Structure 1
Amino acid sequence: MSVETTFDGETEQLSLRDFTEKAYLDYSMYVILDRALPHLGDGMKPVQRRIVYAMSELGLKATAKHKKSARTVGDVLGKFHPHGDSACYEAMVLMAQSFSYRYPLIDGQGNWGSPDDPKSFAAMRYTESRLAPYAEVLLKELGQGTVNWVPNFDGTMNEPEVLPARLPNVLLNGGTGIAVGMATDIPSHNLREVATACCHLLDNPQATLDDICALVPGPDMPTEAEIITPAAELKKLYTSGKGSFRMRALWSRDEGEIIITALPAQVSGAKVLEQIAAQMQQKKLPMVSDLRDESDHENPTRLVVVPRSNRVDCDQLMAHLFATTDLERSYRVNLNMIGIDGRPQVKDLRQILVEWLSWRTSVVRRRLEYRLQKVRDRLHILEGLMVAYLNIDEVIAIIREEEKPKEELMRRFELSDVQADAILDLKLRHLARLEEIKIRGEQDELNEERQRLEETLDSDELMRKLIREEIEATAEEFGDERRSPLVERHEAQAFSEKDLLSADPVTVVLSKQGWIRAAKGHDIDAAGLNYKSGDAFKLASPGRMNQPCILLDSTGRSYTLETHKLPSARGQGEPVTGHVSLPKGAMVDALVCGRDSDAVLLASDAGYGFITRIDQLTSKTKNGKAALTLPKAAKVLQPVLVPGADALLAAVSSEGRLLVFPVAELPELARGKGNKVINIPSARAAAREELMSQVILLNPDDTLVVNAGRQHLKLKGAELDHYRGERGRRGNKLPRGYQKVDSLEVISS
């Protein structure tokens, strides 16, 4: 297939492939160069440049009266930018919004949008506008031969190719854009910081990126929210030209309430409140009781979060909100722009400033050369006028008598065409004697200016000095303090599901047939609960709703259950096999609940044990993990939480021997067999004739109760010391009648 194109009456045939390829390339280059990317020189896209230029041509300077925005948009579309009026007006609105532009270029009257809804601006027939004072930074030198002029879209007039900016506006106001195959995201920066960096580069052309980053430490957005990205990451961003940074809202406490006073750039306060309210409805913020928006004219941002009580940790609550709402936001950075060579490129910070200073030097040079030419032209005319005044009578005679006075003047006084025209254009009142004095004075002034201009143009040092002085003067006039403070903060963490749970006491109950449930409270009669026919109570452990429940099976593997997910004890529970995958033939023989940091004693009836922690026993899979290594035929004993570092361990054998020693003598392990707790002779252990039947932990001041049938032996102080010994000893025999121990209890002092 082929496509026919007609141009100037000639028809050209192209294959469809070549035609589409050329058409798409032309389109993509247009989008890149003439729509989406800003120019490094003035930091503006074509539509923005045309709006600012059209307003200056309409006389809408900062001191002028506001005019309807529709007038400006009409001029822009009709003269320079033949595109949609809505897109042009939106570009105009963006340059007028102080919450979008760090240094707005347009001063608007009427509704120009709000931070909550930047798109809520009124139609252009209602709003009025004029240029902001800062626009002078871009326009002041426009008519001084500083930039190239190009024909507009229909060739009827010219427009500036780029505006002669006195500061690197590409960094000051930044910009975003999406082209074909590339995009740009340039954040705004502080005018004084960037100007200082430019002056430093003029004085020290060999300055490194580190030197510049010390002067321009980071972006400066149009909001007081904090930039929390570490300095090292910001430096990496400026080195590569790509990356991201994060902003976090400012907040404070006021009579128990959380007051948010500044939001990240382009974040809506109404949207933030919606996000927080949605979490409250989903029961994800039980610690928040109320939300209010108290923003007004005096306080543009004032969002109030009311905690449920004074016990709520406000720092932890705000960390959750930072992680889950727009109170903290990430901003992409891509320093992609059209360089002075007309090509798009991602540049580092030093490259941007060096290239801009090179461009600025050429602009200033062109301005000085333009002015020098004007001075020379004027001096040339003044020389001719001086000749006329010195020979005024003869000049008058020639004008009165000659048919072609111009040619006669040029011949008689060796004048140029321009000088002769100037003499002929003189008015009679300028023939006074005082005019000669004025001309000589003007000649002296212009000669001084010419000498100064020539010296500056011939000296790189004087040129740099002039550029630096102009940058410093502009920074003094339009600069301000940094708005976005740079503060390094820890990464915000959202609440986990456990954090949101209450710490209500519960008792986890397991039946002999492996049905598990959780009863509210610690003072329940676990054995008296309702069980299925043929089933009965087996194990119980007190805990909290927000603590994990650790199960140990008959092979020594540990499993983790979320206590808050266990069924209520009002019913008969659920099979534990629905929560964990037990090895064939294995069953749950022990369980314990506690915090992740709680120490716990694991032991087997073979007389071995060790100390570990709940988080070491926690498993993320249903298959569990190896925890306690069991000797042949040995069984797991019920785990015991360690009450303190100085706790005592009391172990009883099936032969009625009791041994008490500090629990600190046992090692802390992640898993294994452990060390010998109480000595059981090898032969008796192998034949399972003697076992460690009971183990318990108590504080030194507590009372140990030995239950044997209906008899109860209380041991404390010296009586308990009788059974104390080193770990791994045989222990002493309990009195007659107490040697068949049913259980051990502890009475706290």
Structure 2
Amino acid sequence: MRTFTEKAYLDYSMYVILDRALPHIGDGLKPVQRRIVYAMSELGLSAASKHKKSARTIGDVIGKFHPHGDSACYEAMVLMAQGFSYRYPLVDGQGNFGSPDDPKSFAAMRYTESRLTRYASLLLTELGQGTVDWAPNFDGTLEEPVLLPARVPNLLLNGGAGIAVGMATDIPPHNLREVVTACVRLLEEPETTLDELCMHIKGPDFPTGAEIISPRREIRQIYESGNGSIRARAVYEIEDGDIVITQLPYQVSGSRIQEQVAAQMQAKKLPMVEDIRDESDHEHPTRIVIVPRSNRVDIEQLMAHLFATTDLERSYRVNLNVIGLDGRPRVMGLKPLLEEWLVFRIDTVTRRLNWRLAKVQARLHILEGLLAAYLNLDEVIRIIRQEDEPKAVLMKRFSLSDLQAEAILETKLRHLAKLEEMKIRGEQDELAQERDELDRILKSKARLRKLVREELLADAQQFGDERRSRIVERAAAQAITETELVVSEPVSVVLSERGWVRTAKGHELDPAALSYKTGDAFRAAARGRSTQQAVFLDSTGRAYSLPAHSLPSARGQGEPLSGRIDPPDGATFAGVLIGDADDRWIVASDAGYGFIVRLGELHSRNRAGKAVLKVPEGSGVLEPIPVPNSDTALLCALSSDGRLLTFPATQLPELPRGKGNKIFGLAAKKVQSREEYLAAIAVVAPQQSLIVYSSGRKMTLKFAELDDYRGERAQRGAVLPRGWRKVDRLAVEG
């Protein structure tokens, strides 16, 4: 059983590799493609004939040569008719053969009509001239060509893709004139190097145009190893301030581009784009218009972002894996591939010349017999009239072969005129010249190669065209960062007691006046810009950051932070910070310890945040306070028993994380029992005042008045006036 299974799988894999998925180096076709082209030629569907129903063609293909599914066979034929899929289409379709937006949107084969293109003649012209081997079809009733006698390297011109068992192929299309020029160079100078060939074949040439932006050294490496990837980018123009995309990368759908750009617009990731629309028509197959929001938009930066985030720039895998002349699949570099195809072409031309030489010699042999008959016409007529077996007598009398005698006997009476002798002699002279020329070519490798060269150049002249894909070495596109995409405007970030967050435009908002859910209330607010990161500090001393522009609008009641980040179980939020990365803030615990930290140190992409403040057991976290750029600013610390201490903020160290230094001289035992704790802190600059709120009342202490409470860091401070010792919060004004 194991032996049988192994053999069956190996047989299957070889079938898939050789008879389904990989193209042959000779004609560049897979079996199904070859059979479609041959069947169409047998039906007389040349480029000069009328179109015929595709169903008729497919019926012949699957009935005579390819006993597989009709839909798969039809799809293979449609692909060869799509000008946006094949660089040089083999089939000329009439009807709906799909579109670049949806290549598989073609009509059923009963509705479409097809015939071969003029280019397809390059694969078929020499078919009946002894150039290829023939094999029985699947049921042995007909014969089909093993290969088609391609006059040009169709493998490189139209490329191909396929997945076999354990291997695959991806060959990009190329330009006919460039490939032929490289072949001619190899014929003239067999020692031509790869670098010299790359002077002729500069890179792939996609049917839809676009720009190939891969560096030349990478393209050369692909042609050397047979493996790699090519990057292609759309081409755009500027018309009246709008961006008009005129060429898309190979196999990229215009509707897909619209979807990708529209999705970014809906997600508010493209605020500089007002609209995108498709204006493609028959005259302009690709015309996608992107309308910038204003003439101040940097179009180059916008397009670089779109190249990086949409299919306007795409990478194509290259794997030059083909079936060689020895019938084995292998990955080949450019030079070995062209060399092997030239071996195939020279062999094909040799077989064609030998076939023609045999035909010429056979005709000369017949003409020699006919001439003998004309020179002895009366005797020939007498033998035919009087002899019972004139053929044998003729052969003996004039030393003729069986073929010559048969030709004489089949000659019509009208051809016995004197003029016919002249025609025979003239035809003899022409054929003798042709025979001598064929002999000379076949006996000289140089003349044979010259003939191949001339035919290649003639075909390139007739069927070649200009390169469509420009090769422009460009740097890889960079997407615009999220902050660059966002319009910079002032915003206020509001945090509630239960950890719900929202953001409002401007700094004039009174956050306490907003509506909150039942049981919830205002906790903290911070003012910054929409392009900045909002940082949230929880009761365990961990910091979390979110882009301010991504937070929900203050028109509603916001959303819980726990949906965006992962704080520890039971943690609450102490405050919110926003500003530039170099801004300094004070973070502190109510155990009386704290330090100054740069805001950038608190930024984290991790949903779990980062540990910043070490909070003693049983203690809480105070709302973070911004530190003004002033060496004379005072840090004001208020204890739960109404003591106020002020000292220079510069006495507090700047740290990235930790417990910090002692701010207020609380009694350790009272802290543990929560009899005493640090209730609030604030930083006051010389031009500002400290506001003390207590039971709905407020007391303003000007900067100079704070000297009454001045002391050193870690002292206990002075007691506030009677009636102000139960303080709700501190604020700074001015």
TM over 0.5: yes
Contact 1:650/1:695, CA 8 A, preserved across alignment:
no
Q: Which amino acid aligns with 1:407?
A: A
One-letter amino acid of the counterpart of residue 147, structure 2: V
Q: CA deviation at 1:525?
A: 8.5
Q: Secondary structure at the match of 1:217?
A: coil
The CA distance in 2 between the partners of 1:295 and 1:178, in whole Å, is 33
Which letter maps to 2:315? S
Deviations 1:215-241 (A, max 9, x none): 212211110222222222222222222
What is the CA–CA distance in structure 2 between the aligned matches of 1:651 and 1:294, rounded to whole Å? 64
CA contact (8 A) 1:539 1:591 kept: no
- Trace 1:621-640 onto structure 2 (pairs within 5 A): none
The yes-or-no answer on 1:171 pairing with 2:143 is no
Alignment partner of 1:239 out of 224, 234, 238: 224
* Correspondent of 1:62 among 29, 44, 47: 47
Q: Which amino acid in the other structure matches residue 58 of structure 2?
A: V
Q: Write the mapping of 1:24-423 to structure 2, written as runs, cut at 5 A.
A: 24-423=9-408
Range 60-69 or range 417-426, more displaced: 417-426
Residue 591 (structure 1) shift: 6.5
Give how far 1:97 is off.
1.4
- Structure 2: where are the runs of 5+ without partners? 517-521, 588-596, 614-623, 636-647, 649-653, 658-681, 691-700, 705-731
SS at match of 2:483: coil
How much does 1:333 deviate? 2.1
SS, match of residue 274 in structure 1: helix
Secondary structure of 2:119's counterpart equals helix
Helix, strand or coil for the counterpart of 2:456? helix
Pair 1:260–1:567, CA change in 2 (3 A):
closer
- 1:105 positional shift: 0.9
Paired residues of 2:157 and 2:174 also in contact (CA < 8 A): yes
- Do structure 1's residue 491 and structure 2's residue 479 form an aligned pair? no
Write the distance in 2 (CA, Å) between the matches of 1:165 and 1:151.
21
- Which aligned pairs between 1:590-739 and structure 2 lie closer than 5 A? 593-594=579-580, 620=605
Q: CA-to-partner distance for each residue in 1:526-579, whole Å, 9 max, x for gaps?
A: 999999xxxxx99997531212357999xx999866444679999999999x98
Does residue 462 of structure 2 align to residue 477 of structure 1? Answer: yes
Q: What are the Cα deviations for residues 321-366 of structure 1, in whole angstroms up to 9, with x where unaligned?
A: 3333333333222222211111111222222111100111100000
Name the CA distance, whole Å, in 2 between partners of 1:234 and 1:342. Answer: 28
- Report if the CA contact (8 A) 2:208-2:250 is conserved: yes
Structure 1 distance, partners of 2:703, 2:143, is: 111
Alpha-carbon distance between aligned partners in 2 of 1:614 and 1:233, rounded to the nearest angstrom: 44
1:745, distance to aligned residue in structure 2 (A): 13
The answer to whether the 8 Å contact 2:687/2:703 transfers is: no
Provide the rounded CA distance (Å) in 2 between the counterparts of 1:36 and 1:87. 13
CA contact (8 A) 1:388 1:423 kept: yes
Q: Which residue is 2:450 aligned to? A: 465
Distance 1:66 1:540, change over 3 A: closer
Paired residue type of 1:98: G
Deviation of 1:101 after TM superposition, in Å, equals 1.2
Mapped to 1, the partners of 2:379 and 2:447 lie a distance apart of 46
Quick check: 517-526 or 496-505, which moved more? 517-526
Q: Which amino acid aligns with 1:21?
A: E
Instruction: Decide whether aligned partners of structure 1 residues 305 and 641 sit closer, same or farther in structure 2, where only a CA change above 3 A counts.
Output: farther
Residue number among 449, 466, 473 corresponding to 2:434 in the alignment = 449
Q: In 2, are the aligned partners of 1:406 and 1:420 still within 8 Å (CA)?
A: yes
Q: Matches of 2:470 and 2:603 in 1, distance apart?
A: 42
CA distance in 2, matches of 1:393, 1:573: 116
**1:559–1:625 Cα contact (<8 Å) kept:** no
CA change 1:557–1:474 in 2 (3 A) is same
* Separation of aligned partners in 2, 1:496 and 1:414: 95
The amino acid of 1:434's aligned partner reads L
Q: Which amino acid aligns with 2:157?
A: L
Q: 1:369 to 1:525 in 2, by over 3 A?
A: same
Residue identity matched to 1:302:
R
Q: Which deviates more from structure 2 when the two are superposed, residues 50-59 or residues 410-419?
A: 410-419
Q: Quick one: which amino acid aligns to residue 279 of structure 1?
A: Q
2-structure distance, mates of 1:502, 1:448 = 83
The letter of the residue matching 1:131 is: L
The aligned amino acid for 1:267 is V
Question: 2 CA distance for matches of 1:84 and 1:615?
Answer: 63
| Corresponding residue of 2:720 | none
Which amino acid in structure 2 is aligned with residue 66 of structure 1? H
Task: Give, in angstroms, the shift of residue 296 of structure 1.
Answer: 1.9
Partners of 1:195 and 1:129 in 2: CA distance? 28
**SS of 2:236 mapped into structure 1:** strand
Structure 1: segments with no counterpart, 5+ residues: 1-15, 532-536, 605-611, 628-636, 643-648, 659-668, 673-692, 697-703, 713-743
How far apart, in 1, do the equivalents of 2:485 and 2:334 lie?
A: 45
Aligned mates of 1:161, 1:515 — CA distance in 2: 74
SS, match of residue 150 in structure 1 = strand
Question: Bigger shift: 91-100 or 114-123?
Answer: 114-123
Give RMSD over aligned pairs.
4.7
Answering whether residue 13 of structure 2 is matched by residue 20 of structure 1, we say: no
CA contact (8 A) 2:545 2:603 kept: yes
Residue 95 of structure 1, CA deviation: 1.2
- Equivalent position amino acid for 1:134 in 2: Y
Read off the aligned partner of 2:172 and give its amino acid letter: P
Q: What is the deviation of 1:448?
A: 1.6
> Measured at CA, do residues 517 and 393 of structure 1 come closer, stay the same or move farther in structure 2, by a change above 3 Å?
closer
Inter-CA distance 574–56: structure 2 relative to 1 (3 Å threshold): closer
Q: How many residues align?
A: 647
Corresponding letter in the other structure for 2:302: L
The structure 1 residue matched to 2:415, chosen from 399, 416, 430, is 430
C-alpha contact 2:626 2:683 (8 A) present in aligned 1:
no
Aligned equivalents of 1:282 and 1:538: distance in 2?
Answer: 29
Q: Which amino acid aligns with 2:86?
A: Y
Cα separation, partners in 2 of 1:710 and 1:293, compared to 1, 3 Å: closer
Cα displacement (A) at 1:517:
8.8
Superposed CA offset, 1:236-277 (max 9, x none)? 222222222232222223233332222222222223323333
How does the TM-score come out when normalised to structure 2? 0.75
Within-5 A mapping of 1:526-565: 543-548=528-533, 562-564=547-549
- C-alpha deviation, 1:86, in angstroms: 1.8
Separation in 2, partners of 1:456, 1:573:
86
Give secondary structure in 2 for the equivalent of 1:134. coil
**Contact 1:241-1:346 within 8 A present in 2 as well:** yes
